[in-house]
Every structure is written in structure tokens, then in C-alpha cells.
Amino acid sequence: MTTVRVGELHKRFGATVALDGLDLEIGVGVTGLLGPNGAGKTTLLRCLATALAPDHGRIEAYGLDPADSRQRTALRRRLGYLPQSPGLYPNFSAAALLGYVAVLKEIVDPRMRRAEVHRALEEVGLSDRANVKVRKLSGGMRQRLGVAQALLGHPDLIILDEPTVGLDPEQRMFFRTLISRLGETRTVLLSTHQTEDAGALCERVVVLREGRAVFDGAPRALAQLAEGQVWRSAGPPEGRTMYWRTAEGDYRTLGPQPPDGVAVPPSIEDGYLKLLGPAPAAGTIR
Amino acid sequence: MTWHVDAELLQEYERGSLTPSRVMAVDAHVQACAACRAAVPADTARLDRTWLAVADTIVTGRPGRAEWLLRRAGLPEHRVRLLAATPALRWSYLAATAAVLALAVAAAYTGQSAARTTLVLFLVFAPVLPVLAVATAYGPPADSMHEITSATPMAGPSLVLWRATAVVGPAMGMEMIAAVASPGPGWWAVAWLLPAFLLCVGTLALATVLPLARAAGLLGGTWLLVALAAGSSAPLVQGVLFGPAAQAGYLVAVIAAIVVLTLRRRHLNPGENR
């Protein structure tokens, strides 16, 4: 079921076009936004989170139009948002910070608010850090706290801008579990540079480039874009193409078959690079 | 475990009719014996509530002085949370307060140099500036959580006005003292503060019967219309709009607005729309 619709969305920052007539429909589940820096991922998420107004175009989420102030407020009651730089106040304790955001989310009854704060802390595994100041939390824990504030009030639409950036594998695994659980019943839209996260988490992947969607489909379909173009070889390929030396000492090539190349199954990263990577003439990735 | 609590003893334990020493003995046994522990019926809902209350007491801790004072002043707990967070947002609060103080000092110097027209314009527009100063102070440059705040239902004029009140209120108190101690035009330097405070509190009071945006537009618009109409005449502005009688009227209106706000606080929607 479609819960979020975006039509002909435009946004410029001076001479820079961030969104260039973007069309998108999103439903319940986890949808991943991929794309290079400056592709428009954060701008799209900010527009959907009602933190930024688009120049032109339509947004409709759960039947609500954020261009109308009443509907915008109604939409804000149904969304949770983790920005790229959450800027959590360092001198607040984890529980106090969530309590503060809970007030901003109109959870005004003290008992309900406390229960909600405890629930959110528990959901992200920070119950034992409730009284710890934000500045004393590790980067991963701060990121968890950022997600916890987004989960306050049981939002239907959860928008997460690079939630796994800078996290160690253990923390990333924790986030994968959490986000996939959220996606069972809610609309989760996340941006990431980690193609393996997108592959592991998202039922659907949208790749943005220069403010437009250049791919929209399942992660497997993204990987298939590089089908028959990924090779392993003992030596480096000739000519200019994308290749790198693997930990095993052989070479993985994306592009034309090297002389001794053996075809290997493509990953999502291969598909992504094939879609957006530089043309062979542009240089070699080592 | 070689023995267990018999049924009769267990019933007395549940009823709470045992002597303290026997309760302690049964407590010690029940803690060690899973079978007897299972035989004691547990009110899990009550246990959860108790545990939540205990955890809450540990986590929440004692309220700060500002929070305690605001609660004593009768503000709802959630409003206190928002306002008490203000000093913690150090840079935002300082920037907004500094802006208010700078405006007052500017007025004092302008008055001393007898630049009457500048003073008149300043006095007309100054009351609406604190709200703008607060809106700027809590924007992206000063408030690191602005992005999160802006996506919450409470973002908007309501939050701005509450914070404006939090900033203008203490600043007004400080300026009153500063004005008494200052040479020169004296209370002219603070003449705009009372109308500014009235605009903030009055808008909130009016927002208990009207949508907040309409209340803000109505009061702010009326102020600007009256002030600009009177602005053609410096003596009129200084004498009538900011004179002693007007100031006394503003004070009465502020008190009335606070009373209305206190009595009708339940009608004030925390969101930006009603």
C-alpha cells in the first residue's frame, strides 16, 4: 500500500539543483535511498520530514499535504525523523533529552511521557544509559539515541538520514535488526552510503543522481545491472576499467572481461557502481 | 531445598498478616526457592508500575531551581520542561538575551543624543523584535537540534512565543534594574519592554480562544497599525504610546493576560494549530 507520494518535486539552493522533478511512491516497509554526495537524498528526506519546503511539486504522506499548515502539523504527529546531524544537546542525559523531544511531540502527560521515554530507550538498548549525559555516550550510542527520539510517539513514517554512518559492524547489525523490525508495520525511508546495508535491510532501493531517481527496484535487481560484467582474474585487466585487488590477491573487475577473467555473481555495490560509476575512460578505481 | 512454605503460611504471607520477623523469614525463603516463589501470586501490572516509578525517580532526579520555580508559579509540567531546557541551550539563550539587552542599550544612547525620530521608530518596532530574535536564536545557527525540533508538531509560533516569553521575561527584570542605575534618559531605555512582554503573553492568552497564528497576527498587527499611525508625531509616540499612563495600562494588560492564560491554560493547544 502506498503511504507516501512525491510528484514533480523541485528544490534549488542558489544555482545548485538538489531535486529535479523527482517522482516517487513509497509504501510500508524499508526503502533505501542510495546515491553519491549531492544527489539529493538529504534534501528529499528533509522535504518529507517537513523540515524544508520544496520549491515546486507535491508531497502527500498518509493522505496529508505538508504544504497546508494544519495538515503539516497532523503529518508531524505521525512522523519520526533522524537528520544527518541530529545535534543532540550534549549536556542533557539520554532520558532528559528524550523527555524534551517527547514534549515537542505533544506527549504532555508526564506519566505517558516517562513510559514512552523508557520504551524508546529499551527499544534501542539504552535503558542502562538513561541517566548518562549525551556527551559521555559513544558515537554508536548517540546514534541509537537519535533513533530513539525518532521512535517517540510510535510514528507511522520513519525517516532516517544515514543512520549507520560511522558505526562498527556490531552496532550496524543492531541497527539492521531494529530497522527491519520497524519496517514490518511502518514506512521506513533511510538514506545510506552502505550498499551492503541497503541489500540486507531494504525491500526496495531508489538510487538518486542529480536530483532524479535513476533506479527504483529490489536490491537484487540493482545487483543484476552488473550481471555478466563482474570478473575475477589473476592479474589486473588491461586498459582503463574499474578494478581492485582483493584480500586474496586476485583482481575483481567491473566491466569488460579480462583475458583470464572468471565471471562472479554481482553484488549490489557492483550494480550501483555500474549504474553510477565513472565511465572507463574517466579513470581506474584502485 | 529441603522444606517449603506451607499453604496456610503462604496465605497469611499474601494477606500481610504475619509478624515482621516471620515475613523476613518467608521473604528469604521465597527469594531462594523457585517453587515457593511461583506459588505466590504476582500482580505484574502493579510490579511494572512500581518498577517504572522507581526507575523514573532514579532517572529523572531532582528538578533544577528554575524548573521548581516555574512549577511553583503554576505552569504545566510539559511547559516547564520546554522552558527549563532554555538555560541549557546556552548559546541560544545568551544570543536572544544579548539581543534584547543590546536593543535597550541602543535606545538609551539614542535617547541621550536626542535623536528623537530614531527613538520613535525604535520604540515602535522594538516590541516585535524580541520574538524575531528568539526565532533566529533558536534557528539552525544556534540550536543544534533545530532540524529535529522543526519536524515535531510543536514546532512553529507556539514554541517561538513560549521561548520569547522565557527570554523577554528575565531580560525585562534585568533591564528594569539596569535602567534605574543608568544615567541619561532613564526609563525610556526600557519603555518598549513592557509592550513586548504584553505582545508575547497576550498572544498566548488570546490563543486560548483563537487559532494561535490568528491571535499573533491580530495583536501584532494592531500594535503596528496603532504605533505607525501615531509614529508621525514623536511627542504622541513618546507621550501617549510609551508614556507613564500607557505603561501602567500595559502592566495591567500583562497581568490580565497572565490571569487569562493561567485560568484557560488547558485550552491552549500545544501544537501550532487548533
Condensed to tens digits (0 to 9), the pLDDT of residues A46-77 reads: 999 998 889 999 999 999 999 887 899 899 99
Question: What are the domain boundaries of chain A?
Answer: 1-78+156-217, 89-154, 223-282
CA atoms within 13 A on the CB side of A257: 8
Please give the tally of structural domains in chain B.
2
The topology (CATH level 3) of A1-78+156-217 is Rossmann fold (3.40.50)
At B272 the pLDDT is: 36
- Check whether residue B189 and residue B236 sit in a common domain: yes
Q: What percent of chain A has pLDDT over 90?
A: 64
Cross-chain residue pair B81–A99, CB shorter than 8 Å:
yes
What is the distance between the alpha carbons of residues A144 and A160, in angstroms, rounded to a whole number?
11
Query: Does B273 fall in a domain?
Result: no
- Check whether residue B32 and residue B114 sit in a common domain: no
Residue that terminates a domain, selected from B60, B79, B100: B60
How far A215 CA sits from the closest chain B CA (Å)?
28
Residue from the list B55, B56, B149 with its beta carbon closest to the beta carbon of A104: B149
Contacts of B52 in chain A (CB under 8 A): 114-115, 118
- Check whether residue B50 and residue B73 sit in a common domain: no
Would you call B246 helix, strand, or coil by DSSP?
Answer: helix
Segment among A45-54, A149-158, B72-81 with least mean pLDDT: B72-81
CA atoms within 13 A on the CB side of B73: 14
Helix A110-123 to helix A139-151 angle (10° resolution) is 130
Cβ atoms of residues A104 and B154 within 8 Å: yes
Averaged pLDDT, B155-169: 72
- Nearest residue of B to residue A50, measured between CA atoms: B151
Query: Does B1 fall in a domain?
Result: no
What is the distance between the alpha carbons of residues B53 and A73, in angstroms, rounded to a whole number?
32
Beta bridge partners of A232: A252, A262
How many other CB atoms sit within 10 Å of the CB of residue B252?
11
Mean pLDDT value across chain B: 74
What ipTM was assigned to the predicted interfaces of this complex? 0.89
Query: Does B102 fall in a domain?
Result: yes
The answer to whether residue B232 neighbours chain A at the CB level (below 8 Å) is: no
Sheet holding A56-61, edge to edge: A16-27, A2-13, A56-61
At A124 the pLDDT is: 92
What is the distance between the alpha carbons of residues A56 and A61, in angstroms, rounded to a whole number?
16
At B56 the pLDDT is: 64
Averaged pLDDT, A131-153: 94
How far A85 CA sits from the closest chain B CA (Å)?
8
- Check whether residue B126 and residue B227 sit in a common domain: yes
- Check whether residue B180 and residue B200 sit in a common domain: yes
At B121 the pLDDT is: 66
At A149 the pLDDT is: 97
| A64 closest CA partner among A3, A150, A16, A21 | A3
Q: Which one of B145, B160, B214, B273 would you mutate to disrupt binding with A, by most A Cβ within 10 Å of its Cβ?
A: B145
Give B 77-96 residues with CB within 8 A of chain A. 77-78, 81-82, 85, 88-89
At A212 the pLDDT is: 94
Kindly calculate the radius of gyration of chain A based on its CA atoms and give it in whole angstroms: 21
Say if residue B43's pLDDT is above 80: no
- Check whether residue B50 and residue B117 sit in a common domain: no
Query: Does B81 fall in a domain?
Result: yes
Query: Which strand (E) or helix (H) includes residue A128?
Result: none
What is the distance between the alpha carbons of residues B115 and B125, in angstroms, rounded to a whole number?
16
At B116 the pLDDT is: 59
- Nearest residue of B to residue A70, measured between CA atoms: B273
Say if residue A118's pLDDT is above 50: yes
Kindly calculate the radius of gyration of chain B based on its CA atoms and give it in whole angstroms: 28
The answer to whether residue A88 neighbours chain B at the CB level (below 8 Å) is: yes
What is the distance between the alpha carbons of residues A79 and A49, in angstroms, rounded to a whole number?
7
What is the distance between the alpha carbons of residues A260 and A262, in angstroms, rounded to a whole number?
7
How far B121 CA sits from the closest chain A CA (Å)?
33
Contacts of B61 in chain A (CB under 8 A): 131
Strands A242-245 and A187-191: unpaired
Cβ atoms of residues B162 and B216 within 8 Å: no
At A284 the pLDDT is: 36
Residue from the list B55, B88, B154 with its beta carbon closest to the beta carbon of A89: B88
- Check whether residue B93 and residue B222 sit in a common domain: yes
Cross-chain residue pair B154–A106, CB shorter than 8 Å:
yes
At A248 the pLDDT is: 86
> Which residues form the domain of B43?
7-60
Cross-chain residue pair B153–A106, CB shorter than 8 Å:
yes
Cell (9 digits) for B93: 539563550
What is the distance between the alpha carbons of residues B243 and B249, in angstroms, rounded to a whole number?
10
Q: What percent of chain B has pLDDT over 90?
A: 5
Segment among A220-224, B86-90, B197-201, B222-226 with least mean pLDDT: B86-90
Residue that terminates a domain, selected from B34, B60, B86: B60
